[in-house]
Amino acid sequence: MMITRHSRPAAGSLGLSMEGNGAGTRLGLGLSLFAVASGFLYAFFALAMGGWPLANPFPLPRAEYRLVYSVLFLLLFGLLLAASWLVFRSARDDGPTLGVILGFAVLFRVLLLPTPPVLSGDIYRYVWDARVLASGGNPYLSAPADFDAPEVKNEPIYRHQNRPLVRTIYPPLAQASFGVVRAVGGESVTAMKALMLLGDLASILILVHLLRTLGLPRSRVILYAWHPLAVFEVAGSGHVDALAIPLILLAVLAWQRGRGAAAGAALGAAALIKIYPILLLPAFFGKRRSPLLLGCAVTLLAGYLPFLPQTGWQVLGHLPRYVADPNEVFNPSLMGLVLFLSSRLSTAPVLWASWIGRAALLGTLAWLARREATDPQALLARIFVVATATTLLTLTLHPWYVLWIVPFLAVQPRPAWIYLSGTVVLSYAFYIVASPTRILIGVLEYLPFLLLLYWQLRRPAVVTPVAGRLGFAREMP
């Protein structure tokens, strides 16, 4: 698969110049319209959540705010698709267009920064782990519930813990990041979110550079920069994934430049933020695997080594229990069907389904490891294989688990993944609807995704033919 370089409009004849200026004006007006509409919706959500020190004119009913959020998200997703259509169709790569995109990307995130993390309480664990580290403790050896002093259990930071009985699941580099935030900003949820926001902005800038090196218009960054999944899950909920994503992008850049050891080190560092980037390692295999593996191994060892003497294998924290806990099943796709069939044949369906999923995932990674990525497009295709396997073969898929693949849609805008990146938000409704409705939501979320994946497999010569006709892609076989 080849990516053709888009040349910038030449300053040729007067007619061509005027045509270019007219197209640029229409693009600027369209982008501004969609940006202002999106900004209004983000501001509405911020006010409704009481995030700004203003009167709260739009209070959302607490029992239904996830439903209202889903509606706002889908509206914002529609605006994103419309704005992206304009950008991809025009293929402009000028400074003013990029400035509008980046400027509003920052604005959207700043609007949500002061809001409370109402969709997920994970960030409270980050703050708690930072407290344990600052007190000389070890978050891999103790759980919040181990601190049974009444004054501790009455604090908001404790009451918001969603898993007070378990040890932390976050790797050493994530722990170090939490500690830095505490040292600079104290025990502040907003300060912790600010760090994640900086990581998200770094991802946007790295993605701009990656697009330029691939010969693609930098304006395509809009597909990530304005994506409501990134805005809400990072600026709104403050998920630590925002620190892993720029490292994954750096790994791609290093691989593209033939720096295998640096690519491995970047992947290792990403896995020290959240474990899942380690699954991408086989996707990066090329003719020289040793530098990649060495860079990754050395980085992982350097991250875990300070904890190993005291902690041993408990340095994995809650991770082993998390992957085996039947109560952690949430929003499965293909594995939901496997779970249903297993329940008809076994008294331990979750155990069987989880082992089937792991075996299939390991088989997919082994298949990738036997082949080589020969160029950036092949590498990205292999990354999408890992993303597809982890999505279809897991029993747990929270919306922010999809976030890491969204930047790559700016390079290869695949319809199946564009669709899922928008509809995955429907899973938040699982908390407030009955089981039959959950099944309907799951069908709406995953069936078109699976059909689009199948259609794409039947059309291997063109990665995104429909997206191409709509202006979302210009790759040619």
The reply to whether 223 and 349 lie within a common domain is: no
The three-class DSSP label of residue 476 is strand
pLDDT greater than 70 at residue 161: yes
- pLDDT value of residue 23: 63
The reply to whether 43 and 168 lie within a common domain is: yes
Token pair belonging to 327: 């109560």
pLDDT greater than 60 at residue 4: no
Q: Which of 224, 239, 254 is where one domain is finished?
A: 239
The reply to whether 183 and 331 lie within a common domain is: no
The reply to whether 205 and 79 lie within a common domain is: yes
pLDDT digits 0-9 by tens, 238-266? 999 999 999 999 999 999 999 999 999 99
Look at residue 309 and tell me if it is in a domain: no
pLDDT digits 0-9 by tens, 320-352? 888 777 678 899 999 999 998 988 888 888 888
Spacing of C-alpha 109 from chain mean position? 15
Q: Give the domain extent around 51.
A: 26-239
Q: Which of 47-61, 270-284, 303-317 has the lowest mean pLDDT?
A: 47-61
The reply to whether 165 and 66 lie within a common domain is: yes
Q: Which of 220, 239, 258 is where one domain is finished?
A: 239
The reply to whether 345 and 471 lie within a common domain is: yes
Look at residue 1 and tell me if it is in a domain: no
Look at residue 245 and tell me if it is in a domain: no
pLDDT greater than 60 at residue 55: no
**Is the separation of the CB atoms in 234 and 109 below 8 Å?**
yes
Look at residue 207 and tell me if it is in a domain: yes
- pLDDT value of residue 152: 80
Q: Which of 3-7, 374-378, 406-410, 422-426 has the lowest mean pLDDT?
A: 3-7
The reply to whether 49 and 169 lie within a common domain is: yes
Please give the DSSP secondary-structure letter assigned to residue 232: I
pLDDT digits 0-9 by tens, 381-430? 999 999 999 999 999 999 999 999 999 999 999 999 999 999 999 999 88
The reply to whether 225 and 347 lie within a common domain is: no
How many domains, in total, are found in the chain? 2
The reply to whether 201 and 330 lie within a common domain is: no
Helix axes of 260-271 and 290-304: crossing angle, nearest 10 degrees: 30
pLDDT greater than 60 at residue 227: yes
Look at residue 367 and tell me if it is in a domain: yes
Q: Which amino acid is at 452?
A: L
Look at residue 317 and tell me if it is in a domain: no
Give the pLDDT band (50/70/90) at residue 51: low
Sorted by sequence, the CB contacts under 8 Å of residue 301 that are 6+ apart come out as none
- pLDDT value of residue 22: 62
d(CA 207, CA 227): 14
d(CA 303, CA 109): 30
Dihedral (CA of 300, 302, 308, 310) sign: negative
- pLDDT value of residue 14: 33
Nearest alpha-carbon partner for 260 in 224, 225, 228, 286 = 286
Give the pLDDT band (50/70/90) at residue 468: very low
Q: What angle do CA 396, 84, 14 make, to 5 degrees?
A: 160
Look at residue 8 and tell me if it is in a domain: no
The reply to whether 349 and 466 lie within a common domain is: yes
Judge if pTM exceeds 0.75: yes
Q: Which of 19-28, 35-44, 337-346 has the lowest mean pLDDT?
A: 19-28
Residue tagged 């191994």 (tokens)? 297
The reply to whether 349 and 231 lie within a common domain is: no
Query: Per-residue pLDDT averaged across 78-83, rounded?
Result: 97
Q: How many CB atoms are located within 10 Å of the residue 411 CB?
A: 24
Q: Which amino acid is at 18?
A: M
Look at residue 14 and tell me if it is in a domain: no
Q: Which of 50-64, 103-117, 208-222, 303-317 has the lowest mean pLDDT?
A: 50-64
Dihedral (CA of 91, 96, 98, 103) sign: negative
Q: What share of the chain has pLDDT > 70, as a percent?
A: 88
Main-chain dihedrals φ then ψ at residue 2, nearest 5 degrees: -115, 150
pLDDT mean across residues, the chain: 87
Q: Which of 239, 273, 299 is where one domain is finished?
A: 239
- pLDDT value of residue 64: 63
Token pair belonging to 215: 């010969």
Q: Which of 107-116, 360-369, 453-462 has the lowest mean pLDDT?
A: 453-462
